[in-house]
Structure 1
Amino acid sequence: MRLCSTLISSPLPAPKSREEDINNVAAESSTCLSIYKYGGAPAVFRSPNCPLWNLQNRRSFSSPASRCHTAAIQGRRKYQEDRLLCALDLRIPFPGKKTGTPKDVLVGIAAVFDGHSGSEASEMASQLLLDYFALHIYFLLDATFSKELTGKLPNSLMHLYDLDSQRFQDSLPLNFHLDILKEALLRAIYDIDATFTKEASTRKLDSGSTATIALIADGQLLVASIGDSKALLCSERYETPEEAKATLIELYRERKRNQDSSPSRFSDLKLEHRTGLMRFIAKELTKDHHPDREDEILRVKAAGGYVTKWAGVPRVNGQLAVSRSIGDLTYRSYGVISAPEVMDWQPLVANDSYLVVSSDGIFEKLEVQDACDRLWEVKNQTSFGAGVPSYCSISLADCLVNTAFEKGSMDNMAAVVVPLKSNLDWES
């Protein structure tokens, strides 16, 4: 069974017919799989033997603004080096668990890339992610399920995938599609870094980038992160009167620290804390890869690097503020790596309201809970949000980046905010 249905984000050009698509892909699949085996996505896209995989044929993709809020501002920096991506309607055909009949799985992807020492790394990562992700999904599925190719593929190719095609012909593991999506994402990240490394070596580029990427599929969420861009969930929760009192005290202290704190927010909470309170609670899904983190500093030192503070920030060899990144070739021999840290698939629950993916510029002046508090104010602006600024009416992402800017953040800022309750199609 050949699975070559079009992926919405795929660089495959729109065929004249489905039959033509199948015939064209079948004609080049064997050659391209061999190329893929030895060189991954970059080799396939470069090869003249794989004309259907051509970056010049990339289709533009955007999600409706109501489903995916995005914003990026240069802030007080001289250049804008942050990039972002949000695509929530990727329909990927996976075999059914019982019959093997293809069934579309709706996949969402939200990502932020925070560049430094130039925008080349963040720009390339944002441009290649969907293409590489789509290609890896295609070849993982094609090699696993194609009866025509099963007998022709060398065992080493199947070992590369760590998949046994015969085992999956009759039955599928429960989370097979999630395993494929995770593997495709990790391979895409690896190939993006390899592609940029080659480009940076040729052009003598010093730039690097963080990468924080969230996948949503089948009512579940996965996050892969490199560097210090963040992903977090804002989830609705009822606070008991005691918890609400503690919240009120913290907001009072915040009001004393920040003269621009919303007075209506404080007054309304003061009135309602006696009977408990509904609010968003922040759950951080990533861990910053800063050089002073215990496991990170051990790797840097083992590689011959050192960590020291400059301008109050721990840095590899006194320069680089992250210990994992895409690019940054100068620091590769000192323990800086591009391997992502992964929060594996976890189910989204009914009270999970917003997914936020953002660069660290937002959190120069905000805590993660502050971001969720701001989103709660916007959601309930008929009461709590009387003091919500006008820019919050543009989009939720604009609300976050401009709130951080007004509080004095000096960095570039980029944010993707996904309203989870309005994207119910992801649920199984």
Structure 2
Amino acid sequence: MDLFDDLPEPTQTSGPPGSGSASQVEAHAQTTKEENEKEEKSVKRKQQQEEIETEEHGQIKKVCREGLPVLKGYVAARRGERDEMQDAHVLLPDMSSCLSCSSRVSYFAVFDGHGGARASQFAAEHLHHNLAKKFPSGESENMDKLIKKCLLDTFKQTDEDFLKKASSQKPAWKDGSTATCVLVVDDMVYVANLGDSRAVLCRMEVVADGQKRAVTLALSKEHNPTMYEERMRIQRAGGTVREGRVLGVLEVSRSIGDGQYKRCGVISTPDLRRCQLTANDRFIILACDGLFKVFSADEAVKFVLSVLQEGSVEPKPGLTMEELRFESACHQLASEAVRRGCADNVTVILVSVGF
């Protein structure tokens, strides 16, 4: 399965054929047919948008969101044995009101700070606001490319803003942070990440006997100095990698902040991946490396599934049994990471996917 490192454009299904006769269709060249189909799609999109715009506000929501996945986020954070909680997180199941577009947009993010909590807190407070300012407005056939550019520009802007603030302090701040951000536009997931925090998707697949089995899909790529491409970039910039760390100190090769390492090849350019959600998808896990030091991605997914299948949860007002199970699974996963001996901060975001 292509998990979109290069953000390919999704395949579009063509509309219904025209009402012309067979002889007329055969008389047209292939290029003419494609142009007609493109024009027909454009007209239909405009008509559909006009119909939506003439509805009342409540109806607009219904029309725009019909058939889209329902996302709900749950978070659990544990300090572990650290003196300070340096992780930060953001859950925005619906940030559409901040954007000038007809799509439903959700945003979830985990930031794992090092050298202090200021970089992670800054990213948690500012990155999604920068994203909202740069998010493409209206509809476009090149939406994937526009969102890709938006994410790249957003990370660059957030990093530059923090470095400017950090360098103005006396003494200068030396904090840095990883970032793993999940942006869901209608039913399309875009993941942008720096460093070693991760995102994984649980997808249920039907096997030969009709039973379903869980498949774990990686939605992010870790960045550490021991990776060949990362190490080569650092060395070309004049830096060194010793004992698996930049200059023998920094464990990640991409981050927000870390101003003292930017001249050594540490960058804030995220890896971008894209995946379309389906009715077989159950949940997404976003977590800092504190979780994945003691859990493999598959183990984390199986742990969550085992909690979701348990029947006993204590009722709480305002929450359904399904919501209570997801909430419990999120907290149990974070607690189990600490129980298994993780001394680091642990932050877990669990995003349920329902259709």
Normalising by structure 2, we get a TM-score of 0.71
Q: Is the 8 A contact 1:393 1:399 kept in 2?
A: no
2:160 aligned partner: 194
For 1:5-44, what per-residue CA distance to the aligned partner results, in whole angstroms no more than 9, with x for missing partners? Answer: xxxxxxxxxxxxxxxxxxxxxxxxxxxxxxxxxxxxxxxx
2:190 to 216, 222, 238: 222
Q: 2:219 aligns with which of 266, 285, 295?
A: 285
State the match for 1:52 in structure 2: none
Runs of 5+ in structure 1 lacking a partner? Answer: 1-65, 95-101, 146-171, 241-274, 384-390
Q: Distance in 2 between matches of 1:371 and 1:134?
A: 31
Counterparts in 2 of 1:91-130, with a 5 A limit?
91=96, 104-130=102-128
Residue 193 of structure 2 aligns to a residue in which SS? strand
1:302 alignment partner AA: R
- Cα deviation per residue 1:214-255 (whole Å; 9 max; x = unaligned)? 111121111011101001101113455xxxxxxxxxxxxxxx
Matched letter for residue 337 of structure 2: A
Equivalent-residue separation in structure 1 for 2:210 and 2:101 (angstroms):
45
One-letter code aligned to 1:404: A
Separation (CA, whole Å) in 1 of partners of 2:326 and 2:261: 42
- Aligned-pair CA distance for 1:75: 0.9
Match of 1:339 in 2: 269
- 2:308–2:329 CA contact under 8 A, matched in 1: no
Q: Counterpart in 1 of 2:81?
A: 76
Distance 2:333 2:282 in 1: 16
Q: Displaced runs of 4+ in structure 1, greater than 4 A?
A: 391-394
CA separation in 1, counterparts of 2:98 and 2:102? 4
Partner of 1:184: 150
Shift of 1:277: 5.3
Partner of 2:292: 363
**Matching residue of 1:149:** none
The separation in 2 between residues aligned to 1:276 and 1:382, in whole angstroms, is 23
* 1:327 to 2:257 alignment: yes
Correspondence 1:155-170 to 2 at 5 A: none
Q: What percentage of residue pairs aligned between the two structures are identical?
A: 33
- Please state how far the C-alpha of 1:276 moved relative to its aligned partner: 7.9
Any conservation in 1 of the 2:174–2:258 contact (CA below 8 Å)?
Answer: yes
Secondary structure of 1:236's counterpart equals: strand
Preserved CA contact (<8 Å) 2:95 2:106: yes
Please give the root-mean-square deviation of Cα atoms over the aligned residues, in Å.
2.4
Q: How many residues align?
A: 273
Say whether the 8 Å CA contact 1:392–1:398 is kept in structure 2: no
In the alignment, what sits opposite 1:420?
Answer: 353
Residue 182 of structure 1 aligns with an amino acid whose one-letter code is: K
Q: 1:330 to 1:284 in 2, by over 3 A?
A: same
Tell me the equivalent position of 1:167.
Answer: none
Higher helix share goes to which structure? 1
Aligned partners of 1:400, 1:200: CA distance in 2, in Å? 34
Amino acid corresponding to residue 193 of structure 1 in structure 2: D
**SS of match in other structure, 1:338:** coil
Compute the displacement of 1:350 (Å): 1.8
Paired amino acid for 2:107:
I
> Which AA in structure 2 matches 1:202?
S
